[in-house]
Chains A and B, each alone.
Chain A
Amino acid sequence: MSIKPKIAYQPRASWLHSLHPLIKLCWLAGLSISLFVVSSPLWVVTVLLLAVGSFPLAGLNLRRDVRGVRFLTTMGVLLFSLQAVFNHTGSPILDMAWGPANLLITGGGIAAGVYVGGRFLSLVLMSYLFVLTTDPSSLAYALMQIGLPYRYGFVLITALRLAPIFEVESNTVYQAQLTRGVKYDVRSPRKFVTLARQLILPLLVSALSKVDALAVSMEGRCFGKYSTRTYRRTTRYTRRDILALVLLAVGLIAVAWIAPPRL
């Protein structure tokens, strides 16, 4: 059976893909923090548009490559609408009455809606963009080369390697139970515990046996022998990376100057 993770790096030849993973991480962190400290709905909208616009520029399609994009959009719109309808701070923009019902939309409510819904969508889409355009092993190697202890770096790499395998295995265990007549439509808590145990135990045993094999394989190749290691793969910064970093810094300084942060 093919192993295909739900959210995974999508190799393309775009400018965003070719950026250094740490520069992309800086952009993700910088913009995410700015969403919460810069008090401007316009900035939130700008970041959201930037995130949405980057998808086609990176050769990605929001509908095809982002799982649950309809759900995310609905959530964003819902969060915006709730604030717009129920938050009545600021001056009224719209005041309509139908009998006993009254719809009051205020400037403060709209701004709050943009903050909540826009931040949610921006954060999720930027995170997706980062994951879809960044080779996770390149990120891990880049982090190790700037000082992350390599044992932690390889926790990330082995997790990335094993996570899809465990996903497939959990599905197999579930199917194996079905083939032996186990029914999952029970409502008794006791039966639920039994089913959970029957599902978790085989997975745990399988995981432990893999960990054993992996430990033998890694120790047999001297993993942990020294406190540091060398790397075949070295990630270099290009002019484009430096330009992207400068652009981020200038952008953040400019927006902080125009709309001073609430710290």
Chain B
Amino acid sequence: MIRIRDLSFKFHGSETHALDHVSLDIKPGEFVVVTGPSGCGKSTLALALGGYLFRQYAGEACGEVTVDGLSTREAEIFDIAEIVGLVQQNPEAQLCTLTVADEVAFGLENRRMPKATIEERSEWALEIVGALHLFDRPLATLSGGEKQKVAIAAMMAAKPQVLIFDEPTSNLDPTATGEIFKVIQHIREKAGITVIVIEHKLGYLKPFRPRVVTMEQGRIVSDGQDTTHFPRFENAFEPTLCSLPKSSNGRVACTEHLTVDYGNAPVLDDVSLDLHAGEFVAVMGDNGCGKTTLLRCLMGLLKPQGGRVEILGQDAGEVPVSSLAREVGFIFQNPDHQLFAESVWDEAIFAPRNFGQLHEGTSQRVAQLLKRCRLDQYRENHPYRLSYGEKRRLNLASILSYEPRLILLDEILIGQDNQNATMIMDLLKEQTARGKTVVNVTHDPQTTFRYSDRILFLKGGRILLDAPISEAIGRLADLGLTDYLPNGRAERHSSK
């Protein structure tokens, strides 16, 4: 079905090859997972298979890619699209209409299919992804997982022979992630098509026994059913016990009966909590449960409709954000939204400069942070030239550079491979050892249970669970939230 021979690609302006002499054969109906560290060329490979790489991106290409006998370097995108469908990372960015029905019909309408066929195929595609009940819904009202199902259905409607998923769950919570992978497996079984999944979260895919292709620095370094790559922290996993008793530490922040709504239902509903110095708190819950809103309130960015937020003894509603920012560091979800400077170095030192904290020690600290975050070699580069994972690490260096006492993180690990994820979490753990407080919104149970002291689980804007890590496993399992437990832990718990 797919034949890649000696494929190399170098993006315009880049010094290294994104793909470096890649050769790969994939048979019809195979289930292949492509994995590897961030920036290793996985997504570039997906773009090459769809033909987009050779038309929409400037660069030097050599080698050969054929899909069902069609060369993706030479054929028209439209002809390749009849065989290959590509589901991208961010569902928000790949949907182009306003309703589910219009979105799924879009590709069929472009192919000038008759109305009856469009309706029949749309229903079939939505049914196969388990989203037929969403048919009449506006896209704006869907959750992230539902949007991704619609994006998959929109591609499936054309009945491609090959479906490629480029990190389809990177923005989704564990429940939605599990559902999407079940959908992918279901598609494979029902439609019998070739499925290629580019993914870091290999633990979820293990039950489907896929062929695993591992890439590093643009090359394929292993190929086969290699289970040694499953999953991120399985071997190292051992939950830490609540390391610092709350009572022995000062309160850094608190919320009292916090209520926030954006005009419809409350996003946060009567949330009361205390955060203490030296705590590493993981905030978990399904997409849309209020995690990001809670972080924004703790930064003073949102004024609640009810209740109050106190940060370091000050009422967040009465202090300007720019003043709170000296003591509170915030990393938003999208790294591009918080890169303002001309170089990596300037970006890392941006906040200390704004806060008037520049002295000899600052430069030294920033240099160490960049080295630790593996960005030292890019000091003079423009931040926008970094990969997604590198930008995320630069975001972290940029806030740690001014040593805030409260560190708020919104899904810092998205786009990080195992090695970098470990480095980031180790760095944050060191901050808590120095008395800083870390509040980490995350969907990654592996790292949560390895590094956090306490779990705050939100559901429908309310705190469902607030417990030290030692208690959280049992209580999450009792609540039926096994998707939020580390791999293997849920099975062990349920077998007791």
Contacts and interface: CB of A to CB of B under 8 A. Distances in A.
B481 interface: no
B420 interface: no
Contact of B56 (A4, A161, A216): A216
Given A220-B85, A221-B154, A175 B321 contact: yes
Given A182-B354, A222-B78, A213 B322 contact: no
Interface in A204-220: 205-206, 209-210, 212-220
Interface in A146-201: 154, 157-158, 160-161, 164-165, 169, 172-173, 175-183, 198, 201
Nearest to A171: B301
A176 B118 contact: no
Interface in A42-56: none
B93 A209 contact: yes
Contacts of A1: 262, 292-293, 296
A178 B321 contact: yes
A98 interface: no
A63 interface: no
Interface string B81-98: 110111011101111111
From DSSP, what is the main secondary structure of chain B's interface residues? Answer: helix
Contacts of A161: 95-98, 139
Contacts of A3: 140
Contacts of A231: 109, 115
B50 A157 contact: no
B267 interface: yes
Contacts of B264: 2
Given A230-B113, A232-B122, A217 B102 contact: no
From DSSP, what is the main secondary structure of chain A's interface residues? Answer: helix
Interface size classification for chain B: 35 or more
Given A2-B262, A175-B301, A232-B118, A205 B94 contact: no
B111 A222 contact: yes
Interface in B51-90: 52, 56, 77-78, 81-82, 84-86, 88-90
B155 A220 contact: yes
B112 interface: yes
A216 B50 CA distance: 9
B85 to A, nearest CB: 7
Interface string B317-333: 00001100110111010
Nearest to A3: B140
Interface in B369-401: 384, 398-399
A217 B337 contact: no
Among B140, B330, B355: residue with most chain A CB under 10 A:
B140
A179 B301 contact: yes
B301 A226 contact: no
B361 interface: no
B97 A232 contact: no
Among A161, A164, A219, A231: residue with most chain B CB under 10 A:
A219
Among B56, B102, B110, B329: residue with most chain A CB under 10 A:
B110
A137 B102 contact: yes
B134 interface: no
A202 interface: yes
Contacts of A137: 97-99, 102
Contacts of B292: 1
A151 to B, nearest CB: 11
Contacts of A224: 78, 110
A173 to B, nearest CB: 5
Contacts of B204: none
Contacts of A172: 332, 334, 337
A70 interface: no
B337 A202 contact: yes
A136 interface: yes
B239 interface: no
A210 B93 contact: yes
Contacts of A229: 109-110, 112
Contacts of A183: 322, 354
A213 B267 CA distance: 29
Nearest to B107: A221
Interface string B130-142: 0000000001100
Contacts of B82: 222
Given A210-B93, A220-B77, A228-B112, A164 B140 contact: yes
A178 B325 contact: yes
A223 B114 contact: no
B390 to A, nearest CB: 14
Nearest to B76: A225
A225 B119 contact: no
A234 interface: yes
Given A182-B322, A216-B52, 20 more contacts: A2-B262, A161-B96, A161-B98, A175-B321, A178-B301, A179-B301, A182-B354, A202-B339, A205-B336, A206-B336, A213-B88, A213-B94, A220-B52, A220-B77, A221-B106, A221-B110, A230-B108, A230-B113, A232-B118, A232-B119
Q: Nearest 9 CB-CB pairs, A to B?
A: A221-B107, A181-B354, A217-B94, A213-B93, A176-B338, A2-B262, A232-B105, A222-B110, A198-B340
8 contacts: A161-B95, A179-B321, A179-B329, A180-B340, A213-B89, A218-B96, A232-B101, A233-B102
